[in-house]
Amino acid sequence: MEETELATAAARARAAFGAGVEADDRFRAIVEQERERVAGAVALAELLAPMLSERLFALAPAHAPAAGPAPRKPGARAPIEGRGIADYIDEMLAHERAGST
C-alpha cells in the first residue's frame, strides 16, 4: 500500500501544497509514527488472540460432538494456527477492494 496508494496520495499532496524539506520531514515522521502504531497493534493482537481463543474454548459447550472437526469446504481457508495477523489484514483489504469495485 505504501508503494502504491500512499505514494499516489503523497504526490497529490505535494502537488497541491508544494514540496519542501519541512513537508518531507513531517511526512516521514508521520509515516514512521504510523509504522510504530501498526507494529504495536500487531503485537497486541498476537498476544490477545491466543488468550481469546483459550477463553472461547473454555466457554464452549461440554456436549459438543467428539467426532472431530467438520469436513472443510472446497476452497476453504487455512486453519487459524497456520495464519498470521498479516494474513487476516490482507484478507480484509481484499474483501474491501472487492466490495468497492
pLDDT at 12: 82
Low-confidence ranges of the chain (pLDDT < 50): none
Q: Which amino acid is at 68?
A: G
Angstrom CA distances, 31 to 20, 68, 98, 100, stand at: 16, 46, 26, 25
Whether 17 and 23 have beta carbons less than 8 Å apart is answered as yes
pLDDT at 91: 82
